[in-house]
Chains A and B, each alone.
Chain A
């Protein structure tokens, strides 16, 4: 009898071990989907400069006598996301790093219901306006914008990211690329 009990308890413990290693878990409901925004981009900085005084120049070694002192002021950025006619999500972002000298990292995930949607994503400096989205002096677009009609299936993660070479927001997964909606910085 004791041996039977010993085997039964051992079997129970083993079964519990086996069962606890494969508990079915779904982090989201079956009809959930996600819109994920993820990219990095070099942050621009405004140079705040002033002329050195004669005394300051005199105090410096000859090879360090630059006429101006410039302090970089990192610029802030604004991310806005809109799905269909829903509320617009707006968030201010700034460059990473203790001295704000690292790139700006964009990472946001927000639930989206499966089906057809019209999404609008914009990334720009807050002081820029819609009519500023032309190339700047260095060929960079000041306002990054993506407007797209997409079809999202249950369980999908719709990724919007940034192509640093073409300087545009885009959807890398071909299954999600969808149709253009209005003016877009994408040339797809």
Chain B
């Protein structure tokens, strides 16, 4: 039988530690990174204050999209009152509308700033978590272009006001463009005072300011095109809170008007928006070509991050593969894959029905499909459900959890591994992602006599596999395909959401669960728990 062959082979060749190590992706190097530790620290604090569901750091990407919607709505209002012929006077008029215009303009301004800040946080999160290479490279690059477009859109918006801030931005932008050998007449001459500002200047800016959001929308679509079920909006309560906060800011601390642009005076005491003009004070100190050189170098480095972050070929996690002989064609893996990397095809081996196949270009090796396949027919090489079961069986034989012991299955990125991997007092079975856990692994531990199984997951919005905690919960408690069988006592299973920065949460939950398990009757161990035999029977059925 495959089962005995599998166990014998592993025991002989690799030993328990290696067996366990193989079923989770090595992430220690990732966790040592300063950026990851900083992010974990910040996440931990925000979780304590707002809870993981409303932690704005987890929702940074969705907040950007939501704020883009706010910008669109407020921008349409401002557009009605803006006059190309008298830009400063018309914006001044809008600011003078105490009841509506003033706060709409403030909300427009602060939303754009918050969107840029949230985009920076989102990019930092993806970088710190190494979610920026392979199939995710498209999202990384499109995200960078998106930020660039938002910056340009903001630049055009600020220039439209035509105050001293706009004057500075316009002159500096023209200086930077003039160094490019593409304009026969220097653009800077438009702002020397030698003649009036060309009539087309404000029209061009307004056109760009209105047209660029179309490009932004397109890029958002590209940005999420490689993920299934993208969560592009934050929870409603968080959205309301963010918009309400910005609105209060606009009311309490309204956006003022700087002095009108005057090309015969040097702007002074300009209220600079550092979100959009952070580069301006530095850029003014150096020649334009230096700005291009530095800006170009930084841009290239950012664009190259998918290549720089990519592990060496021998350390790259394997893509998922399907054992077509075992696949029953149930389609569950296709439904569960968070990246749309699995599709169903007609069988070509002479049998009827369909079979799952993985597109390696889209697969990010998240391993969510491991837990979604009841017959354990697919997953990254050496991380399939069968490998997981072999590993837990070997681990169990070595650690022999007692009738009142709690075994903690810790997702690699949660507090489970981060805080307890080295704690000898905790029976810790590591795994790459909670979504990778096959319910047979949980069943095996319970039926083998462990007092309880505590599964530590990341926050749902922060899962590396995007939907690991959600699918795990549904498989354990809601009967989602590859479900935990009825015969397993749910009182001996608990799932705790505890990100890497939430070690205290997990420790408290562990102690509570240990106390609860102590109240239960001593767990009884079944002999020869052989769950794979069930799978093999399915496999034989399919094959026949």
Contacts and interface: CB of A to CB of B under 8 A. Distances in A.
Interface of A: 2, 5-6, 9-10, 13-14, 17-18, 20-28, 30, 32-34, 36, 38-40, 96-97, 102-103, 105, 107, 155-157, 159, 161, 172-173, 175
B218 interface: no
Interface string B22-51: 000000000000000000000000001110
Interface in B269-283: 269-275, 280-281
A67 to B, nearest CB: 33
B245 A156 contact: no
B270 A21 contact: no
Contacts of B271: 21-25
A184 B186 CA distance: 28
A24 B270 contact: yes
Contact of A27 (B168, B186, B194): B168
A65 to B, nearest CB: 33
18 contacts: A6-B49, A14-B246, A17-B246, A20-B274, A24-B269, A25-B269, A27-B281, A36-B192, A36-B193, A40-B189, A96-B185, A107-B192, A155-B265, A157-B265, A159-B264, A172-B193, A173-B193, A175-B264
A5 to B, nearest CB: 5
B193 A21 contact: no
Contacts of B538: none
Contacts of B281: 25, 27
Given A34-B266, A40-B189, 18 more contacts: A5-B49, A6-B49, A6-B50, A10-B245, A14-B248, A17-B113, A17-B117, A20-B273, A21-B274, A27-B270, A27-B284, A33-B266, A38-B192, A156-B265, A157-B264, A157-B265, A157-B266, A161-B194
B241 A26 contact: no
Contact of B188 (A14, A107, A155, A156): A107
A25 B114 CA distance: 21
Interface residues of B, number: 41
Contact of A107 (B186, B253, B255, B263): B186
Nearest to A102: B184
Nearest to B253: A18
Contacts, number: 113
B268 A26 contact: yes
Contacts of A23: 271-274
A129 B331 CA distance: 89
A181 B404 CA distance: 102
Residue among B249, B266, B268, B275 with the highest chain A CB neighbour number at 10 A: B266
A10 B241 CA distance: 9
A43 to B, nearest CB: 12
A65 B245 CA distance: 79
A45 B241 CA distance: 67
A148 to B, nearest CB: 16
Nearest to A175: B264
B267 interface: yes
A100 to B, nearest CB: 11
Nearest to A173: B264
Contacts of A28: 266, 268
B125 interface: no
Contact of B185 (A5, A27, A102, A157): A102
Contacts of A27: 168, 266-268, 270, 281, 284
Contacts of A161: 192, 194
A161 B263 CA distance: 14
Nearest to B263: A157
Contacts of B188: 107
A176 to B, nearest CB: 8
Top 4 A-B pairs, shortest CB-CB distance: A22-B271, A38-B192, A25-B272, A21-B273
Residue among A13, A25, A34 with the highest chain B CB neighbour number at 10 A: A25
A169 B474 CA distance: 81
Contacts of A18: 110, 249, 253
Nearest to A105: B186
Given A24-B271, A27-B168, A17 B114 contact: yes
Nearest to B56: A13
B264 A156 contact: yes
A1 to B, nearest CB: 10
